[in-house]
């Protein structure tokens, strides 16, 4: 048989793939970029922006990179757990220094918070193929693919009512009362994405109580620690529920609070009921991570380690994080002061809030005002500058008044 005819007859493996819709947020960013209006406003983007509209490399990160350039002696493999010193430092940041000696909590480095969420979901599915996780809606759109593709069943409940801009706390607690012992609940540790609506401390206490009483397993997504109320304050809820739980998972990201997004820097922590069980879990996590990324990327974690080990760099990192927080808070206050219907924005945390807009109103903002945000009404507060915040608020009010 001639070579040409064999190739022609070969089954077309990839021809059976169905086209996938492109990421709507990426499409939005492209649309905003292509808009020629000089005063357009892009609040769809999901990264921190400074007053000049840039996403700068933090001072301490730049200094740590210089140190690494001069002192790093090898790029040899580190192993599936990543950098153990980074993991230990992160354990202190997430759970507090008092938890460092808690051998029931094990951790490993992951490619960003996404890697931690996916690995956690794989561990859950491996441990129990019938596992269910309760997920408040709306949630970060990537939660469903990351957790669902591992095969873990997701049970939705209402977390936030967009129309009244309030957390559906009673509905959330009812859902947790329905969960069976050993079932999981997904919680945003702080700076809820996409709504900005965080539980207050009383509410966290109530969640911790139900977790303890009903034997639930919290899976906390802590992707914005330090960008809400402060580094310690943003971990309070996570610490309360983990303390109350016999078993728990925490997916942590350094990508936002160190501003190292593309370096993919995160960690997954799991609390087990005993030290022996924790060791077994770590072994399973290392096995699972080997089937996905083998070993996590190093650079972001090495940078975070250098920053956290050097008292001066650590202090400067915390100071710059505070500056970022202050900018977020100041923009929130200015929006809130503009119109009573925006007042709720001042009480929310992190980069995102969700506006009570219909998708037609979101389109109207885009077409008539050159304002780009996700169809859900989620917008990035720090996508605004000192100059654009008033124009943004005025356009919102105009659209809301119809
Ligand atoms: C709620 C939430 N969790 C996790 C992540 C993942 O972060 P990373 O970029 O570190 O993978 C993000 C990123 O946008 C997020 O918003």
Q: In this predicted model, what pLDDT tens digit does every residue of 172-197 receive, in sequence order?
A: 999 999 999 999 999 999 999 999 99
Q: Which residues contact 24 (CB under 8 A, 6 or more apart)?
A: 374, 375
- Neighbouring residues of 200: CB distance < 8 A, sequence distance ≥ 6: none
Task: Tell me the pLDDT band of 45, cut-offs 50, 70 and 90.
Answer: confident
Q: Are strands 132-137 and 153-158 parallel, antiparallel or unpaired?
A: parallel
CA distance 40 to 362: 14
Q: 207 with 176: CB under 8 angstroms?
A: yes
Active-site pick, 223, 278, 302, 336 = 223
pLDDT 10s digits, 340-383? 999 999 999 999 999 999 999 999 999 999 999 999 999 999 99
Question: Which amino acids bring their CB within 6 angstroms of ligand 1?
Answer: 46, 112-114, 140, 193, 221, 223, 253, 255, 261, 266
Rounded-to-integer distance, Cα 165 and Cα 266, Å: 31
Known active-site residue 33: no
Domains and CATH numbers, the chain: 22-57+317-400 (3.90.1150.10), 77-309 (3.40.640.10)
- C-alpha distances (whole Å) from 320 to each of 112, 315, 371 are 21, 9, 28
Q: Name the pTM for this structure.
A: 0.96
* 3-state secondary structure (DSSP) of residue 76: coil
Q: Is 126 a residue of the active site?
A: no
Q: How far away, in angstroms, is 120 Cα from ligand 1 center?
A: 14
Helices (DSSP H) in 264-310: which residue ranges? Answer: 275-292, 299-309
pLDDT of the residue at 29: 85
Pocket test for ligand 1, best of 82, 94, 228, 255 (most atoms within 8 A of CB): 255
3 pLDDT tier (thresholds 50, 70, 90)? low
Q: Do the Cβ atoms of 331 and 389 come closer than 8 Å?
A: yes
pLDDT at 256 over 60: yes
Backbone angles phi, psi at 296, to 5 degrees: -75, 155
How many whole angstroms separate alpha carbon 90 and alpha carbon 304? 9
């Amino acid at each position: 048989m001639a070579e040409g005819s064999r190739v022609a007859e070969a089954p077309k493996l990839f021809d059976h793939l169905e086209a996938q819709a492109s990421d709507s947020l990426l499409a939005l960013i492209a649309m905003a970029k292509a808009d020629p209006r000089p005063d357009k406003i892009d609040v769809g983007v999901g990264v921190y922006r400074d007053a000049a509209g840039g996403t700068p490399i933090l001072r301490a990160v730049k200094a740590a990179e210089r140190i690494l350039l001069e002192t790093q002696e090898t790029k040899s493999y580190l192993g599936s757990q990543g950098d153990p010193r980074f993991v230990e430092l992160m354990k202190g940041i997430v759970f507090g220094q008092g938890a460092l000696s808690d051998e029931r909590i094990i951790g490993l480095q992951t490619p960003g918070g996404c890697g931690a969420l996916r690995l956690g979901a794989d561990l859950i599915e491996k441990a129990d193929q019938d596992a269910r996780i309760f997920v408040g809606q709306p949630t970060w759109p990537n939660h469903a693919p990351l957790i669902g593709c591992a095969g873990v069943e997701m049970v939705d409940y209402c977390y936030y009512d967009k129309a009244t801009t309030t957390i559906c706390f009673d509905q959330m607690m009812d859902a947790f009362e329905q969960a069976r012992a050993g079932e999981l609940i997904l919680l945003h540790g702080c700076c809820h994405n996409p709504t900005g609506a965080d539980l207050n401390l009383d509410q966290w206490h109530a969640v911790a109580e139900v977790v303890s009483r009903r034997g639930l397993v919290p899976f906390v997504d802590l992707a914005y620690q330090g960008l809400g109320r402060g580094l310690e304050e943003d971990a309070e809820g996570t610490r309360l529920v983990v303390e109350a739980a016999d078993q728990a998972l925490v997916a942590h990201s350094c990508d936002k609070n160190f501003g190292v997004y593309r370096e993919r820097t995160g960690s997954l922590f799991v609390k087990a009921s005993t030290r022996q069980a924790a060791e077994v879990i770590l072994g399973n996590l290392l096995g699972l991570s080997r089937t996905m990324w083998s070993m996590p990327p190093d650079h972001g974690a090495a940078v975070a380690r250098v920053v956290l080990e050097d008292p001066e760099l650590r202090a400067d990192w915390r100071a710059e994080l505070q500056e970022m927080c202050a900018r977020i808070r100041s923009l929130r206050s200015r929006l809130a002061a503009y119109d009573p219907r925006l007042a709720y924005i001042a009480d929310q945390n992190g980069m995102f809030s969700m506006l009570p807009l219909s998708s037609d109103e979101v389109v109207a903002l885009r077409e008539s005002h050159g304002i780009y945000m996700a169809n859900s009404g989620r917008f990035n507060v720090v996508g605004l500058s000192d100059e654009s915040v008033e124009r943004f608020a005025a356009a919102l009010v105009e659209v809301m008044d119809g």
